[in-house]
Amino acid sequence: MTIRWTLPIAAALCLPAPALADTHIDNIDGISIDRDGTVDRFTGMVVDEDGRISELLDFGDRPTRDIDYYVDGEGGVVVPGFVDGHLHVMGIGLGTLVLDLSTTRSLNEALSRIEAYAAAYPDRPWIIGRGWNQEVWGMDRFPTAAELDAVVPDRPVWLERVDGHAGWGNTLALRAGNVTAQSTDPTGGRIERLPGSRAPAGVLVDAAMPMVAGQIPPPLPEDRDLALHNAQQLLLSHGITAVADMGSTIEDWMTFRRAGDAGRLQMRIMSYADSVDTMLLIGGPAPTQWLYEDRLRLNGVKLYLDGALGSRGALLNEDYEDDHGNRGLPLLSGTQLRNLISRAALDNFQVAVHAIGDAANRDALSAIEQLSEDYTGDRRWRIEHAQIVDPADLPRFGQSGIIASMQPVHQTSDMFMAEARLGSDRLGGAYAWRSILDAGGSLAFGTDAPVEPVSALAGLAVSISRENADGVPEGGWRPQEVITREQALAAYTAGAAYAGFAEGRFGRLAEGERADFVMLSADPLVSDAQAIRNIQVLQTWIAGRRVYDLDTPQN
């Protein structure tokens, strides 16, 4: 994409960037998509000085207003910037500052990486990492503290599981958290024990994690700012121009604001606070304004109803198939859930309920249906993940206009584990995108990064195939739940924007919306799943300014 200045060079050089005036972006293979999957194609657009689209142009159309800048798109495919409906901005960013184990394929590989990392950072008082997955390592048990002690005996080590629902510590970490044979499991959490003993084995699940994690020195403020910078660069490089940040802490929010105040916030963040208290602290009597030209808003709160499948924390209607007697860990009672939803809805905050297991989803649906009678109007109740739903409950997504905020890649990451956890008979409503759409529900797609890698395109590929990156299983896992390319792209753009009350601001390439777009190496609406995975993000633009270019080295 070539930018040609139509102003005299001297004048142009005085301007920090394009799109401070009317810009004509011409000669593109432009695609926009409505929430229902309706496609609009165009060959050019005009962006005004506020970074909003003032006109879409078809071949041969000329802009109706005077143009200050002209950009030749050289025929490139342009789609709306991806809107990630569920991720953790600071988790992504802080993850760039700690040891990443997400690519390790075995326990031994992980241990040697941990040993090398500890040697490389002798001054760090704790060794912190994340991303391990014993399932990927082919283990039928969690790793142990003793295994960590063998490579790092001198400092505490704390490593979060890929899904964030379990942590693995060495002996010094367990000692720092005062986790002993005498410790009882906290409500909603579990201390893994050595076989035939009460001695802690090394892994803490869900609500037990803070016993150790609470002892870790918090990140320095400058680390937070760097983390946000890194997260933003990573997201922009994947064409993600807007995100729903799920579970923002007050520290996260202050970091977002520092970036916004300094003009460093480029992407758009729809924030859901980690608690009602944080929500009220930030928003006060109502959701915040849209700040920084539609770049930041506190929409509401995320509530956690259960844990995850991997750590058997997801709340199920029946016992875990591979752990009889366990139905998961409820994090809120029905009354607590209703009280928290009510407190948020009372002041028009949006509510996003994390529900993974079929029992959690049923509880969430029931609570929302009940409270919808009191809290009427356009509420856009969200259920986050909605991974395992009893088929009998699927129609309820449509009946109450609930938004299913789902992460397609979870389906391929979790499919075999889900079969182990539930057995195949209980998966009729698992990752049931098509059924939810057919029932009249709304989809918002996201990555859940850093739980899954930052890649909207991988999500699109899974959405239409239900095959993983290796093409497994051939023909797709429960392929009746695939959706169309258009439905998938809509859920990753306009659908995710709608889910955050952002329609009309961003999510589509349409008049009046911000000119947030991505130039891709191929058209995802005419590519097969494998080809979609191979599409490159060439450039990313926000509000009519180029913020990422594949050919320009990033800092």
- Residues near a second copy (CB under 8 A), total: 23
Q: Which of 225, 321, 438, 549 binds a second copy (CB under 8 A)?
A: 225
CB of 63 to a second copy, least distance (A): 28
Phi, psi of 415 (to 5 degrees): -55, -45
Contact predicate 324/354, CB 8 Å? no
Nearest CA to 517 out of 94, 79, 4, 64 is that of 79
- Rounded to 10 degrees, what is the CA torsion of 213, 219, 223, 224? 80
Between 130 and 169, how does the x/- string for binding to a second copy read (CB under 8 A)?
Answer: ----------------------------------------
Q: Which of 66, 140, 222, 378 binds a second copy (CB under 8 A)?
A: 222
250 touches a second copy by CB under 8 A? yes
Minimum distance of a second copy from residue 474's CB (angstroms): 50
Tokens representing residue 154 in the block: 């001198």
| Stretch touching a second copy by CB under 8 A, among 162-170, 258-266, 318-326, 406-414 | 258-266
End-to-end CA distance of the chain: 21
Choices 54-62, 250-258, 407-415, 544-552 (CB under 8 A): range interacting with a second copy: 250-258
The total of other beta-carbon atoms located within 10 Å of residue 389's CB is 29
Residue 471 binds a second copy (CB under 8 A): no
**Residues linked to residue 128 through DSSP beta bridges, in sequence order:** 158
Nearest distance, CB of residue 129 and a second copy, angstroms: 24
Q: Fill in the amino acid letter for 18.
A: P
255/468 with CB nearer a second copy: 255
**Binder of a second copy out of 258, 338, 343, 533 (CB under 8 A):** 258
Q: How far apart are CA 335 and CA 244, in angstroms?
A: 27
Site string for a second copy, 57-96 (x = CB under 8 A): ----------------------------------------
Candidates 9, 10, 14, 220; binder of a second copy (CB under 8 A) is: 220
**Assign residue 478 a region: left if phi > 0, alpha if psi is -120 to 50, beta otherwise?**
left
Which residue's structure tokens are 């699927």? 394
- Of 252-260, 443-451, 489-497, 538-546, the segment contacting a second copy by CB under 8 A is 252-260
Residue of the chain from 125, 221, 334, 479 that contacts a second copy (CB under 8 A): 221
Q: How far apart are CA 447 and CA 463, in angstroms?
A: 12
CA distance 132 to 110: 8
| Nearest distance from C-beta of residue 300 to a second copy, angstroms | 14
* Among residues 107, 254, 420, 439, the one that binds a second copy under rule CB under 8 A: 254
Segment near a second copy (CB under 8 A), from 91-99, 129-137, 247-255, 507-515? 247-255
User: Do the beta carbons of residue 349 and residue 339 sit within 8 Å?
Assistant: no
Q: Which tokens in the block code for residue 161? A: 């599981």
Question: Closest approach of Cβ 215 to a second copy, in Å?
Answer: 17
- Write down the least CB distance from residue 258 to a second copy, Å: 5
- b/e sequence 104-113, b meaning 16+ C-beta within 10 Å: beebeebbeb
Cis peptide before 450 (omega within 30 of 0): yes
- Return the residues of window 265-324 that contact a second copy according to CB under 8 A: 280-285, 288-289, 291
Nearer to a second copy, 138 or 263 (CB): 263
Helix, strand or coil for residue 309?
coil
**Smallest gap from residue 278 Cβ to a second copy (A):** 10
| Phi, psi angles (nearest 5°) of residue 200 | -60, 140
Rounded to 5°, the CA angle 547-553-555 comes to 75
Distance CA 135, CA 173 (A): 23
Verify binding: residue 257, a second copy, rule CB under 8 A: yes
Secondary structure of residue 246 in the 3-state scheme: strand
Instruction: Decide if 503 contacts 93 (C-beta within 8 A).
Output: no
CB of 41 to a second copy, least distance (A): 38
Binding of a second copy by 343 (CB under 8 A): no
- The secondary structure of the chain in percent helix, strand, coil, rounded to multiples of 5, reads 30, 25, 45
- Among residues 151 and 282, whose Cβ is nearest to a second copy? 282
Task: Indicate which single residue of 224, 379, 485, 546 sits in contact with a second copy (rule: CB under 8 A).
Answer: 224
> Hunting for tokens 């609500």 — which residue is that?
207
Closer to a second copy by CB, 221 or 334: give it.
Answer: 221
For the bound state, the minimum distance from the C-beta of residue 228 to a second copy, rounded and expressed in Å, comes to 10
Site for a second copy, rule CB under 8 A: 220-222, 224-225, 250-251, 254-255, 257-258, 261-262, 280-285, 288-289, 291, 347
